[in-house]
Amino acid sequence: MHTTIRNARGEKNNHNSMLVHVTRFIAVQDIIHQLITEEITAIRRKFEYEKSDSPDSIIRQLEDIFYSDYVPTTRYMKNILDDCLVSETSWDQVREHIFDVISRIQVKVINGTARDALDYTDHPDGLSVIAVGGDKLSRGLTLEGLSVSYYLRASRMYDTLMQMGRWFGYRPGYPDLCRLFTSQDLAQWYRDINQASEELRREFDYMSALNATPADYGLRVRTHPDGLLITAVNKMRSGTLMDLSYSNSIVETIVFHKDRSIISTNLRLTNQFIRNLGPENDKVQNNLIWCDVPAVKIVELLAEFIVHPESRKAKPEFLSNYIQNQLTKGELTNWTVVLKNNTTAAEAQKIDLGGFIVGLTKRTDPTDPIDPERYIMRQGRFISPKDEYIDLSKDQIAQAFDLMRNDPDRIARSSKTPDVPSGPYIRTVRSPQSGLLLIYPLIPDETHRSDEAFIGLAFSIPKSDNVIPIQYKVNNIYWEQEFGS
């Protein structure tokens, strides 16, 4: 049908291909080739000898498919695609090309022993082909005008499936005609792999935004719940499995808008948020601390605070949903809020927040001058290592230190004795009922105006046994950034 509609659109001399890829076994490919050839021959005979006005005729079946599938799909695709070449056609226009199209279809088996070959240059008037094959079709052979894929070949590895799943790509004038026929399991696998791939692409974007490289940036790939492998075991090398969620995580706003209206909005929200907390409960190294802050106040701040979309983990709606979900389980009910105060800041780098004069923390902006719209943390972090246990007791800090020193995974990776416990161990000893919000007023350099300070938020979220984590394969850098050397 797709070739007939393309002909009706004036693309009669263009190539059209269908892919049939169900197995790597050559003997089975030969059987499938024979079955398809017999079916095409039977369809041709029906066109020659059937009465077209019969309700069960092949022409009536094609008409039903045209109206039930192709017409609504084309209309839908025209609304979502910017492709002026996609046009609606009538059944009468399509019908007059059907027999010519069917008579020109060739069925070829493409494998290492077959005599068939795909040489589109031998067909200047356009080749219409059904290509049956396996490994050859999965390793880069280009099918011109590929519009239909019948694909059932499974693999247990992401990269192999992605290699075999290069179906349609750029199809000017006929993306609405492309069809994929596969199993429900494979369709779900490709959805999951695509989600993992998109996440990894975003990780690369974040890494690029930080001017970092894989040598100093932690990368992760989402694993598959049904046991698919990311790649072959011999290629995986030193990747480590980690269960990741907001549970036992540090969430930081590491990328900031430089738009003055957004800066002003976040300053205003933070100022009001701190005023509503009332007098501080404690001070540690001149940092102001409020204890037992109700979770609803944190959620209210997140509802209005503007976070740059490239702050990968700190999307307010996701974080707010997590907090509210944990509240139903009796967790994250009370928060500690810390307003960071840089006591070494000059007078010109101090600001009034909620009635408290605090010094701004300097974090250099590594952003390229030609891209002045973002302020970015160089290492993807602005929180100091000791800040995460600022509200913990000495016994809790000692417990976190012991967990880190005795962790066999950490010992296997490094013989270095740690000086302070790192974040995951701190969040393990923190009560599941108690979250920590650290507020950093930031400037990129001494010349930046104090009344345009950036507000960095860092959420230290304790470990919870009441969440379903997502498993990732992470590189060594990611593991070390989370757990320390």
Residues recorded for the chain? 485
State the angle between helix axes of 26-49 and 58-65 in degrees (0 to 180), rounded to the nearest 10: 110
Q: Which of 130, 164, 182 is the last residue of a domain?
A: 182
Residue 460: CA count within 13 A, CB half-sphere:
32
Same domain, 253 and 119: no
What would the DSSP string read from start to end of 76-139?
A: HHHHH---TT-----HHHHHTTHHHHHHHEEEEEESTT-S----GGG-TT--EEEEEESHHHHT
Asked if residue 417 belongs to a domain, the reply is no
Instruction: Work out the pLDDT band at 228, boundaries 50, 70, 90.
Output: very low
470-474 β-sheet, strand order: 220-222, 470-474, 240-244
pLDDT of 106: 92
Amino acid at 323: I
Do residues 12 and 136 both lie within one domain? yes
pLDDT category of residue 356 using cuts at 50, 70 and 90: very high
Cα 382-388-391 angle, rounded to 5 deg:
135
Quick one: 55 and 150 in the same domain?
Answer: yes
Same domain, 13 and 101: yes
Nearest-CA neighbor of 26 among 90, 116, 156? 116
pLDDT of residue 154: 62
Q: Residue 461: beta bridge partners?
A: 249
User: Whole-angstrom Cα distance, residue 338 to residue 288?
Assistant: 6
pLDDT at 202: 63
Q: Is residue 212 part of a domain?
A: no
User: Domain for residue 72, yes or no?
Assistant: yes
Domain assignment present for 415: no
Closest listed residue to residue 464, CA positions, set 427, 420, 413:
427
Q: What is the pLDDT of residue 253?
A: 92
Q: Give the Cα separation of 193 and 266 in Å (integer).
A: 37
At 42, list the tokens: 């039977």
Top pLDDT among 123 and 239 is at 123
For residues 315 and 457, membership in a common domain is answered with yes
Q: Tell whether the model's pLDDT for residue 376 goes beyond 80.
A: yes
Residue 293 has pLDDT above 70, yes or no: yes
pLDDT greater at residue 230 or residue 128: 128
What 3-state DSSP class applies to 397?
Answer: helix
253 vs 170, which has greater pLDDT? 253
128 within domain boundaries: yes
Q: Please, which pLDDT band fits residue 217 given cuts at 50, 70 and 90?
A: low
- Is the confidence at residue 389, as pLDDT, over 50? yes
Is the same domain home to 259 and 153?
A: no
Q: 121-125, 135-139, 240-244, 317-321 — which is least confidently predicted? A: 240-244
**What is residue 441's three-state secondary structure?**
strand
What pLDDT does 249 receive? 86
* Confidence at residue 255, expressed as pLDDT on a 0 to 100 scale: 87
CA distances from residue 21 to 25, 76, 354, 451 in whole angstroms, order as listed: 10, 28, 66, 63
Percentage, residues of the chain above pLDDT 70: 74
Tokens encoding 465: 């046994």
Determine the average pLDDT of the residues in 81-104: 87
The pLDDT, as a whole number, for residue 437 is 97
More confident residue, 78 or 440: 440
Same domain, 171 and 83: yes
Question: Domain boundary residue among 153, 182, 211?
Answer: 182
Which percentage of the chain shows pLDDT scores above 90?
Answer: 30
Q: Looking at the structure, do residues 129 and 275 belong to the same domain, yes or no? A: no
d(CA 94, CA 400): 72
Helix axes 260-277, 295-304, angle to 10 degrees: 160
- Mean pLDDT of all residues in the chain? 80
Which of 138, 167, 182 is the last residue in one of the domains?
A: 182
What is the DSSP-derived secondary structure letter of residue 417? P
- 76 in any annotated domain: yes
* Mean per-residue pLDDT, 56-77: 89
Query: Whole-angstrom Cα distance, residue 233 to residue 413?
Result: 20
pLDDT grade for 231, boundaries at 50, 70 and 90:
very low
**Are 64 and 178 within one domain?**
yes
Q: Which segments of 189-329 are extended strands (E)?
A: 220-222, 240-244, 249-252, 255-257, 282-284, 287-294
Comparing 21-25, 61-65, 191-195, the range with the smallest average pLDDT is 191-195
Q: Output the pLDDT for position 407.
A: 81
In a domain? residue 418:
no
pLDDT of residue 341: 94
Number of domains in the chain: 2
- 407 neighbors 307 (Cβ within 8 angstroms): no
* DSSP letter (8 states) at residue 9: T
Residue 288 binned pLDDT confidence (cut-offs 50, 70, 90): very high
Give the structural domain span for 262.
Answer: 246-392+430-467
Higher pLDDT, 423 or 244: 423
Give the separation between CA 27 and CA 114, rounded to whole angstroms. 11
Pair 133, 255 in one domain:
no
pTM (predicted TM-score): 0.53
Q: Is residue 319 part of a domain?
A: yes
Classified as helix, coil or strand, 303 is helix
User: Based on the domain organization, do 250 and 378 belong to the same domain?
Assistant: yes
User: Angle 37-39-40 (CA atoms, 0-180°, nearest 5)?
Assistant: 65
- Which of 169-178, 289-298, 379-388 shows the highest mean pLDDT? 289-298
Statement to judge: residues 24 and 129 lie in one domain: yes
Read off the pLDDT of each residue in 332-338 and give the average, rounded to a whole number. Answer: 96
End-to-end CA distance of the chain: 60
> Which of 84-98, 136-150, 167-181, 365-379 has the least mean pLDDT?
365-379
